[in-house]
């Protein structure tokens, strides 16, 4: 490479400004992205240090006016340099501009405004507090109970954190303030989102399995075996204790820790456990922090004031100087993949960051991704299993209900007879019920309610989606056929797109159980700020008997009074029209079933489906991950879907339909030329799943290859092509490596 693009200041304001320098001969072999270099700058050519962000053969200015790099500033790559190198890796792997990648990776510097902070403090003695606690418990005032229980633990807490994490309303805090139990104080300084915990940490002695895992991971780390570890363990099997033990060992060695937890699963209880164990060394970020607050937390990490960072995806880029461990809990969560460019995956990116700074990565899940489990089986990751719940708490039992039989028996309701009678029973016992409507497959797949047959693409083995009621389309390859009026399998006329929503379900349930108090939680009811929390709080508070909702209700929150979970139309997510549908279904069902029976009463999950024999449904009901994996990996191999191959998606969008059609056909031809002899398969162009958004038309290509490298090379060539080709300018092209959500 002849030239290096350099930024001289990595603060946000100037990130956009890169300067180009020539690489002197003696540095050509050594210079790498992320290195700090000394360069002449400006008219007087005073010297400045800057970071190399890109190496290129293409000059961007008049080459005769490009100055030369003077020297490398220091030999090692420092933290900032590492993050910049990570940005470069992200750009190359996932496709984006270098600037987008840098903005993802470097903390955004902004003037942190000194904001007033409110804190909630306990004003009565712990003894009195415990007396109140008992009263609240007796009266089933669970919101007050939660607040006071937390305050007994911590004495004082950040007001907003209390509201967010405990799902409280202002009135609960007010009430306790009126009762003289607590005081809300305004403080000027922003220190830590949670104040010091004074209670004694509950230290469990790890059981033998947990202990063996911890020791093995640490021993491997000492041997410089830096392969990531996957801890496969059902919920409640003690994974979090294992993470905490590993983190403690890491801190003892003078290193720092990052813990990624999906935001929806980052409950107050989880946060509290980390605080109790590690005290003020811990900090948390979440999406509700302002830019300034985020930056503040990142600075505290950079300067060594905190040593454990907990947060969602973006916490991965915490600028710890001496990072020792990255934990990724619930590693299967789709939220670990960014949905905007750069569409990076936090798991892969964590592994790359760990490689750069010699840290180790621990992944954990009850339902690992097929990708990770496959790597664990073939030795790329180390596999650890926690098969039992810690206190031998039983897993809920599941029953599968065949909706085809219900129809035959004359029951056309969305509630099977079995589910309805269990609901009656629970309502009578005043226990709570959750009804989960699997709406992931809302793209309008076409199925037969008499026999369960689903119409699939003959080329891609994914379901076809109904468009405007007239044609059925494959969103992978563009195949289409006219909509059917009769089931091609059994001839029944009960064929069509399943489209019941939570609102209809709620109405039906209300009609069947007029005296039951029904709450609904979906996109509509949670649109308002805090809508989500308010509904959950009301339900946790016992203000409703039945909670009807989408996937939102199956994650993160414990409702001990729930003893029945009904999954309506479990198959919907099976026919979402993408290759991950079975995996997502398994995960959702396993999680949904796990909602029942978290308290003392044993729980039961009813899984209603038109495809009772499908392996996702069978294995989820049996809570048998290995059996699921075996079926799923065979399918992926057969169809050459990830992890059996890599899939690079190309998203095209344009205001003019004709132009988009023309240019995507043009691109299709160019692709054939670019690929040459590489073993890459082109699928498409096809209409995107959502083929028009805000009057912008969208199309997709999928490029499939066993190895990733040829796809990365092809991506670079395409980026070049789109820069050069005038006619492609009105078309926006984005990349998605191994996509998770549809487009
Ligand atoms: P997971 O992260 O797999 O869901 P946790 O680590 O949260 O599991 O453990 C589930 C529960 O069991 C927690 O309340 C935790 O405090 C408790 N627990 C974990 N390990 C032990 C142990 N060795 N002895 C006693 N209790 C434990
Ligand atoms: Zn049929
Ligand atoms: Zn197809």
pLDDT digits (tens, 9 = 90+) for 653-672: 999 999 999 999 999 999 99
Q: How far does the centroid of ligand 3 lie from the alpha carbon of residue 579, in Å?
A: 11
Q: How far does the centroid of ligand 3 lie from the alpha carbon of residue 659, in Å?
A: 23
Provide the Cα torsion 626, 630, 632, 634; round to 10°. Answer: 170
Pocket probe for ligand 1: among 230, 231, 237, 238, the residue whose CB has the most ligand atoms within 8 Å is 238
**Beta strands 562-568 and 604-609, pairing class:** parallel
293 confidence band (pLDDT: 50, 70, 90): confident
**Closest residue to atom 9 of ligand 1, CA basis:** 238
| CA of 489, nearest ligand number | 2
Pocket probe for ligand 1: among 390, 391, 555, 595, the residue whose CB has the most ligand atoms within 8 Å is 390
Q: Which atom of ligand 1 is nearest to the CA of 235?
A: 4
Nearest C-alpha neighbor of 19 from the set 69, 57, 64: 69
Q: How far does the centroid of ligand 2 lie from the alpha carbon of residue 714, in Å?
A: 44
Length of the chain: 743
Sequence-ordered list of residues with C-beta below 8 angstroms from that of 327, at least 6 positions apart, any chain: 243, 246, 247, 257, 258, 259, 260, 361, 362, 363, 364
Q: How far does the centroid of ligand 2 lie from the alpha carbon of residue 487, in Å?
A: 5
Pocket probe for ligand 1: among 208, 240, 248, 368, the residue whose CB has the most ligand atoms within 8 Å is 240
Q: What is the mean pLDDT of residues 694-720?
A: 92
Q: Are 37 and 52 in contact (CB under 8 A)?
A: yes
pLDDT for the residue numbered 61: 77
pLDDT for the residue numbered 361: 98
* Joined tokens for residue 533: 């929390």
Ordered structural domains, the chain, with CATH: 3-105 (3.40.1440.60), 116-188 (no CATH), 208-391 (3.40.50.300), 393-444+498-636 (3.40.50.300), 646-737 (3.30.70.600)
Q: Is the pLDDT of residue 414 over 90?
A: no
* Joined tokens for residue 479: 């195949």
Instruction: For Cα atoms 106, 111, 113, give the angle at the middle one, nearest 5 degrees.
Output: 130
Q: Which residue has the tokens 């003020």?
A: 280
| CA of 460, nearest ligand number | 3
Nearest C-alpha neighbor of 577 from the set 725, 425, 702: 702
Q: Is the pLDDT of residue 574 over 50?
A: yes
| CA of 493, nearest ligand number | 2
Question: How far is it, in rounded angstroms, from Cα 294 to Cα 292?
Answer: 5
- DSSP helix/strand/coil, 283: strand
**Closest residue to atom 10 of ligand 1, CA basis:** 236
Q: Are 252 and 71 in contact (CB under 8 A)?
A: no
pLDDT digits (tens, 9 = 90+) for 333-361: 999 999 889 999 999 999 999 999 999 99
Q: Which atom of ligand 1 is nearest to the CA of 206?
A: 23
**Beta strands 471-473 and 480-482, pairing class:** antiparallel
| CA of 408, nearest ligand number | 2
Q: How far does the centroid of ligand 3 lie from the alpha carbon of residue 642, in Å?
A: 16
Q: What is the chain's mean pLDDT, rounded?
A: 86
Q: How far does the centroid of ligand 1 lie from the alpha carbon of residue 4, in Å?
A: 51
pLDDT digits (tens, 9 = 90+) for 472-515: 888 778 888 998 889 999 998 888 776 667 788 898 899 999 99
98 confidence band (pLDDT: 50, 70, 90): confident
**Closest residue to atom 15 of ligand 1, CA basis:** 238
Whether the upstream peptide bond of residue 590 has omega within 30° of 0, thus cis, is no
**Closest residue to atom 26 of ligand 1, CA basis:** 204
Q: Which of 8-12, 262-266, 422-426 has the highest mean pLDDT?
A: 422-426
The H or E element spanning position 258 is: strand 256-260
Q: How far does the centroid of ligand 2 lie from the alpha carbon of residue 202, in Å?
A: 57
| CA of 455, nearest ligand number | 2
Q: How far does the centroid of ligand 2 lie from the alpha carbon of residue 632, in Å?
A: 25
Q: How far does the centroid of ligand 1 lie from the alpha carbon of residue 323, in Å?
A: 26
Q: Which atom of ligand 1 is nearest to the CA of 207?
A: 23
| Residues lining ligand 1, Cβ inside 6 A | 204-207, 210, 233, 235-241, 390
pLDDT for the residue numbered 441: 44
pLDDT for the residue numbered 200: 54
- DSSP helix/strand/coil, 581: helix
pLDDT for the residue numbered 77: 65
**Closest residue to atom 20 of ligand 1, CA basis:** 238
Burial class of residue 176, CB neighbours in 10 A (0-12, 13-18, 19+)? buried
Sequence-ordered list of residues with C-beta below 8 angstroms from that of 85, at least 6 positions apart, any chain: 32, 33, 34, 77, 356
pLDDT digits (tens, 9 = 90+) for 147-205: 888 888 777 777 777 777 777 778 888 888 888 888 887 644 333 444 444 455 567 78
Q: How far does the centroid of ligand 2 lie from the alpha carbon of residue 488, in Å?
A: 7
Q: Are 663 and 731 in contact (CB under 8 A)?
A: yes
**Closest residue to atom 25 of ligand 1, CA basis:** 204
Pocket probe for ligand 1: among 236, 363, 392, the residue whose CB has the most ligand atoms within 8 Å is 236
| CA of 461, nearest ligand number | 3
Q: How far does the centroid of ligand 1 lie from the alpha carbon of residue 167, in Å?
A: 23
């Amino acid at each position: 490479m002849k030239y290096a693009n350099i930024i001289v200041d990595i603060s946000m304001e100037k990130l956009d400004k890169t300067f180009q320098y020539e690489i002197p001969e003696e540095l050509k072999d050594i210079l790498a992205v992320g290195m700090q270099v000394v360069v002449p700058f400006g008219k007087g050519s005073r010297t400045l240090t800057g970071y190399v962000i890109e190496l290129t053969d293409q000059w961007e200015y008049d080459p005769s006016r490009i100055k030369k790099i003077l020297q490398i500033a220091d030999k090692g790559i420092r933290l900032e340099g590492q993050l910049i190198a990570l940005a470069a890796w992200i750009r190359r792997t996932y496709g984006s501009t270098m600037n987008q990648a840098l903005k993802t990776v470097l903390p955004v510097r902004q003037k942190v405004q000194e904001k007033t902070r409110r804190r909630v403090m306990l004003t009565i003695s712990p003894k009195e507090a415990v007396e109140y606690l008992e009263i609240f418990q007796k009266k089933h005032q669970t919101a007050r109970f939660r607040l006071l229980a937390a305050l007994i633990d911590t004495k004082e807490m950040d007001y907003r954190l209390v509201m967010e994490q405990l799902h409280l309303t202002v009135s609960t805090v007010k009430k306790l303030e009126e009762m003289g139990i607590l005081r809300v104080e305004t403080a000027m300084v922003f220190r830590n989102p949670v104040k010091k915990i004074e209670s004694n940490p509950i230290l469990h002695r790890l059981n033998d399995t947990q202990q063996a895992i911890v020791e093995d991971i640490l021993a491997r780390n000492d041997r410089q075996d830096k392969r990531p570890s996957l801890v496969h363990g059902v919920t409640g099997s003690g994974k979090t204790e294992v993470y905490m033990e590993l983190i403690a060992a890491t801190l003892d060695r003078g290193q720092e820790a990052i813990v990624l937890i999906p935001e929806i699963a980052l409950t107050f209880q989880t946060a509290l456990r980390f605080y109790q164990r590690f005290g003020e060394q811990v900090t948390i970020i979440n999406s509700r922090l302002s830019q300034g607050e985020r930056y503040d937390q990142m600075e505290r990490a950079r300067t060594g004031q905190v040593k454990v960072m907990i947060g969602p995806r973006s916490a991965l880029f915490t600028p710890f100087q001496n990072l020792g461990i990255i934990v990724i809990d619930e590693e299967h969560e789709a939220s670990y993949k960014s949905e905007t460019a750069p569409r990076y995956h936090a798991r892969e990116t964590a592994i790359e960051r760990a490689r750069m700074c010699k840290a180790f990565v621990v992944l954990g899940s009850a339902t690992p991704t097929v990708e990770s489990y496959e790597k664990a089986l073939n030795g790329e990751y180390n596999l650890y299993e926690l098969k039992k719940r810690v206190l031998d708490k039983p897993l809920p039992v599941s029953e599968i209900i065949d909706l085809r039989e219900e129809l035959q028996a004359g029951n056309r309701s969305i509630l099977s007879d079995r589910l309805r009678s269990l609901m009656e029973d629970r309502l009578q016992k005043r226990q709570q019920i959750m009804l989960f409507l699997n709406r992931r497959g809302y793209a309008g797949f076409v199925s037969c309610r008499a026999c369960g047959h689903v119409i699939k693409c003959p080329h891609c083995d994914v379901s076809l989606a109904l468009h405007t009621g007239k044609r059925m389309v494959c969103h992978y390859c563009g195949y289409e056929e006219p909509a059917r009026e009769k089931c091609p399998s059994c001839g029944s006329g009960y064929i069509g797109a399943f489209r019941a929503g939570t609102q209809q379900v709620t109405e039906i349930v209300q009609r069947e159980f007029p005296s039951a108090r029904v709450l609904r939680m979906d996109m509509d009811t949670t649109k308002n700020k805090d809508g989500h929390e308010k509904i959950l709080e009301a339900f946790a508070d016992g203000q409703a008997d039945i909670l009807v909702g989408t996937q939102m209700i199956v994650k993160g929150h414990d409702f001990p009074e729930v003893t029945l979970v009904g999954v309506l139309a479990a198959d919907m997510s099976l026919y979402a029209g993408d290759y991950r549908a079975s995996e997502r279904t398994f995960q959702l069902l396993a999680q949904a079933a796990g909602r029942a029976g978290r308290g003392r009463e044993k729980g039961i999950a009813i899984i209603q489906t038109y495809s009772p024999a499908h392996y996702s449904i069978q294995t989820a009901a049996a809570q048998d991950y290995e059996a699921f994996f075996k079926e799923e990996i065979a399918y992926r191999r057969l169809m050459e879907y990830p992890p059996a191959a890599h899939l690079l998606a190309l998203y095209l969008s344009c205001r003019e339909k004709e132009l988009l059609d023309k240019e995507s056909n043009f691109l299709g031809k160019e692709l054939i030329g670019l690929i040459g002899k590489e073993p890459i398969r082109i699928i498409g162009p096809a209409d995107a799943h959502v083929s028009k958004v805000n009057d912008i038309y969208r199309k997709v290509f999928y490029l499939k290859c066993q190895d990733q490298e040829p796809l990365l090379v092809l991506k670079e060539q395409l980026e070049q092509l789109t820069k050069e080709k005038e006619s492609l300018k009105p078309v926006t092209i984005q990349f998605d490596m191994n996509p998770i959500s549809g487009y």
